[in-house]
Structures are given as C-alpha cells and as structure tokens.
Structure 1
C-alpha cells in the first residue's frame, strides 16, 4: 500500500450520497448475507474471565470541550444496554452496529465528539468509538476472530499516557464501518461491560480457562514526512501466543495501520 494522499474535502452532498449508498449496501448484506448473527443475551455470568480491560471515560484533550465527553458517557450507557450479556455461540458473528442500532435522539442519544476529516465536531451518538476500541482490544486477547475492523485514518491527538500500541483500536460509523467478531471455537463467549471509578470496563467470559495467553505488540513504528508536506504514522500489530508453561508457541500478524498525523510529530505528549 502506498503513502497517504493529500486529503480532499468532499462536498456536503457527495458525503451524504456516499453515506446513503454504503448504509444501503450494508442493510442488504444484513438481510441477504450468510452470516448467523449473535443475538442471545445471558444475564448469568459464564464462569471464566478470559480477557479484560478498562479505559478512562474523561480525558483532557486539546481544544475539546468537556461537555462533549460528559455527553459521551450518556451515549455509552445506552449502547452498553444493547450489548450487555451478548453471548456469541459457536459459528455466530458479533456485529457491533447490528446489535446497537442507529443512534438517534429518540433513543436518548445526545451530541458527543465525532472525528471528522482529522478534526472533530458534535454529532448524535458521538463517542461510541471508545466502546468499539475497547471491544477490539479485549478480543485480540481471545481465540475469537476479528473479521471486520476499520483503522482510524487520522491520528488526531498526541499520545498521552498511552498504555496500548498506536493503532490498536477500531473506529466505527453507523453502519458501514462495523466491528465484527466471529466465534470459530466450540464454546460460547459472553460480553460483560460496565462503568467503574470513571473507567469504561469490558471483559470476555467463557466456560473453561484457555490453554494459552496472548501478548499484543507493535513492530515497524515510524513517522514519515509525505511528499505534499503532511506526516504519516505507521506500524504493524502482532500477537505472541504463550502456553501455560510460559513458552512462546506462535507470533501472529494482526494488522497494519497508517494514519495522517494532525499535530506536529515532535510535539510532547500531553500538550
């Protein structure tokens, strides 16, 4: 794949027509595609926690009003209700947007921060990418297979207390930028979500402990100046697999990331 081309701002009508087309295509695929989608909810906890993670819901971000982040919490609570306890049975596929549905004011969603062409703006349901990011990360630490994930095209904010590799999230936009997870194992996997001490929390649970564990890491991280003056950030994500004795038994390629940086490369983290 070549370097990122200089972004071209599309007209409002072109963006609207494109969105309508891609959403329509997704609706048809939901109806006529061959996937068997997960829809079963189980309130009784499966016995073994396989992976878990938590992320702060409120961050001090440059030029971002805090009311957008407080509204994000409202949006996350509504979306979490749709996903809480969802259990992916063997052979089923989890679809983020098919389960959540379209965020609308009628459902209680409010304006939150939506990334747009390397910047941000208020938008209904804004902030749900934090949930898809969390889901993607905890899924990488399980045998579940991610069959659809979309990387962020823009690197909007400098790293600030980053604990995960760059590009380890999953952007989302109803309904054509989806996060899909397939259960190719022989046991069910249950999703549990929560909010605790200011953090968004998530975990996958199943019927028995795993015979191995996973470690996610990055390779080839670099920042390059593009011919037209912008900066591209690149890396590739890999996964080490260890058995119960702590011996590494595999090293798997996961994905690569390319993003257009929207800040100066030498800007210190947190500025």
Structure 2
C-alpha cells in the first residue's frame, strides 16, 4: 500500500523536511572526516583533460522563456564560485559547499526547478545545468563520483538539440541533494567554469596528462508503451581506453534508465518504439 511521504502532506511539512535535510547536511560536513576543496588558483593548470559547453537558453516545451533568461543570470552569478577551484589528491569536491544557497538576497532570480517530479519555479533555478556540465566532464576523467542524484526516472522534455545521452544529468537541491566527487589519484585537477552570452563553459584541467581516456556511450535506446503511458529506456556505459594501444580496458554500466515520458506522444521517435 502506497504511503505518502511526510514532505508531501502540505507546504509546511515540505519546508520542514527541507530544513531538516539542510541541517543534517551541515552536520555531515562537520563530522564526516572529508577534506573538502577550498583552494582557488587563477592560473590554469597546464593540461586540458576535457572541455564542454552547454547552451544556456533552450526552448523546453511550453516553459516560459523568461525563466531561461533568469537562468542565464543565475549561472553568471554561480560560475565564479567554482571557477579555478583546485582538487588535490584525496580532496572532495562539493558543489553546494562552494556555491552556497542561491537566494534572492544574493541576486538570484526565479528559474526552472524540478519539484516532486514536476516542472516548477524557484529562486536560483538552473543550477542543475551547472552540475550537469561538471558531471559530464568528471565522467571523462579518473575522478570518482561519490554523490550523484538523478531526476527520479522521468523524461520531462523532448530532445531539443540534445548533445549528451539522456540520463547523464543530475538533480540537486540546496544542500541535501549535492553533487560530489573525490580525487583518488596522485595528481591535481582544476575546474574552470564561466559563461558567455550563449553558453555555460567548462574545462577540467590537471598538472599532468592522464594515462587513459574515457568515452561515454549510449546503448539500447528505445521507447516502450506500457499501461500508464510511454517509457524511455537506455543504458549509459563508460569505456576506459588505453591511450597508447587504443584498447578498451574497462566498460562499466553508469546508469540504466526506465523513465516515464511526460511530454506529448507526437515528440516520441516512432522508429524507436517497441510494443510489449
């Protein structure tokens, strides 16, 4: 029998649950024994490991484009909070420890957020795009992801100019849904993040080259019609390749998606629908 979570009873219980999550996270920061990143360097480390950029203003279904404009301003405020951060061996990167709470007082505006699996509005909306960018670069490196949340198995928008495979995004909420990775290597890394008029841009750099390269591949991508609607399925794999020989050393499953489609059937690719 389904039991409604305490946070979904009413707006008060939701706020109470959020406050509890924030306090527990702050306590965890104090007592978990991790060494969190804190050093910034304006000079770029010499070796580029991976670069990526993502379009800031995208038309997403019927979402108000004003929210996209506000997101551009939010990202412009947040990017300098990460830009130049150094990740030394054994240090942990925490997105929220660096960026902090995106409040109206700090200049953040109302943008697109996902709340309880639905599209909504909220101050500071757009930070998921920031962690999406970081996550995509980290996947192409030997860094180890230690905290990553996903959008609860839902496919919210059709593929408007998608650059990366479906399912490689992130879900964050200040500050109890964080994005974190740890540097378990013997070399130092650095994140460069900035915005242009059109793009959120990122570079993952290091003090020396890495031994292997990494490729993210999508397999078994298809839609299936079930009793309560359409579902999108795919598998995301991470291939580790020896740079000297070109041989694949490891191929690991990153994520297997079975996500309920929330947009109109007309946007589903007909050639990828399987009838079960």
Cα distance, 1:155 vs structure 2: 1.5
Instruction: Answer yes or no: is the 8 Å Cα contact 1:90–1:184 preserved in 2.
Output: yes
TM-score, with normalisation over the residues of structure 2? 0.89
Q: Matches of 1:122 and 1:56 in 2, distance apart?
A: 20
CA RMSD in angstroms, aligned pairs only: 2.1
Cα distance, 1:268 vs structure 2: 4.6
Q: Does 1:215 align with 2:218?
A: no
Cα distance, 1:7–1:246 mapped onto 2, change above 3 Å:
farther
Task: Please name the residue that 2:41 is paired with.
Answer: 42
Cα distance, 1:6 vs structure 2: 11
Task: Please name the residue that 2:156 is paired with.
Answer: 156
Q: Matches of 1:97 and 1:226 in 2, distance apart?
A: 38
Q: Matches of 1:112 and 1:90 in 2, distance apart?
A: 35
Per-residue CA distance 1:89-140 (angstroms, 9 max, x = gap): 1000000011111111111111111122343222110011110101000100
Q: Matches of 2:99 and 2:12 in 1, distance apart?
A: 27
Task: Please name the residue that 1:16 is paired with.
Answer: 15
Instruction: Answer yes or no: is the 8 Å Cα contact 1:223–1:265 preserved in 2.
Output: no
Counting matched residue pairs gives 264
Task: Please name the residue that 2:194 is paired with.
Answer: 194
Cα distance, 1:145–1:233 mapped onto 2, change above 3 Å:
same
Q: Matches of 1:43 and 1:65 in 2, distance apart?
A: 36
Instruction: Answer yes or no: is the 8 Å Cα contact 1:118–1:262 preserved in 2.
Output: no
Cα distance, 1:256 vs structure 2: 3.0
Q: Matches of 1:55 and 1:24 in 2, distance apart?
A: 33
Q: Matches of 1:70 and 1:135 in 2, distance apart?
A: 21
Which stretch shows the higher mean deviation, 102-111 or 246-255? 246-255
Q: Matches of 2:129 and 2:4 in 1, distance apart?
A: 25
Q: Which runs of 4+ in 1 moved over 6 A?
A: 5-8
Which stretch shows the higher mean deviation, 73-82 or 242-251? 242-251
Which stretch shows the higher mean deviation, 155-164 or 184-193? 155-164
What does residue range 121-140 of structure 1 map to in structure 2 within 5 Å?
A: 121-140=120-139
Q: Matches of 1:78 and 1:27 in 2, distance apart?
A: 23
Q: Tell me, which stretches of 5 or more residues in structure 1 are unaligned?
A: none
Name the SS of the counterpart of 2:90 in structure 1.
Answer: coil
Q: Tell me, which stretches of 5 or more residues in structure 2 are unaligned?
A: 270-276
What does residue range 99-178 of structure 1 map to in structure 2 within 5 Å?
A: 99-153=98-152, 154-178=154-178
TM-score, with normalisation over the residues of structure 1? 0.90
Task: Please name the residue that 1:234 is paired with.
Answer: 233
Cα distance, 1:83–1:139 mapped onto 2, change above 3 Å:
same
Task: Please name the residue that 2:248 is paired with.
Answer: 248
Instruction: Answer yes or no: is the 8 Å Cα contact 1:49–1:206 preserved in 2.
Output: yes
Cα distance, 1:226 vs structure 2: 4.8
Q: Matches of 1:193 and 1:7 in 2, distance apart?
A: 40
Per-residue CA distance 1:132-151 (angstroms, 9 max, x = gap): 10100010000000110001
Cα distance, 1:250 vs structure 2: 1.5
